[in-house]
Amino acid sequence: MSKHVYKKLELVGSSPDGVEDAISNAIARCSESVHNLRWFEVTQVRGEIANGKIAHYQVAMKVGFTLDE
């Protein structure tokens, strides 16, 4: 088994459609410039309320990726 070393980044994803979509948006965008993504950890969920309804979701998360060997 390989001895992996991970680096962590903090991201905030957003979406008007829900928490899962906000997570997916952040990971998809991050994967365009960071390779070897391995895991994510949601640290905060928050949102915007407009006219008494949920207007937007924001999800703060940490993502881990392995360093090149």
Residues 7-61: tens digit of each pLDDT: 999 999 999 999 999 999 999 999 999 999 999 999 999 999 999 999 999 999 9
- Long-range contacts of 11-14, Cβ-Cβ distance < 8 Å, separation of 24 or more: 11/60, 11/61, 11/62, 11/63, 12/58, 12/59, 12/60, 12/61, 13/58, 13/59, 13/61, 14/56, 14/57, 14/58, 14/59
For the chain, domains (ranges, CATH) are 11-66 (3.30.1660.10)
pTM over 0.85, yes/no = yes
Burial class (CB in 10 A: 0-12, 13-18, 19+), 63: buried
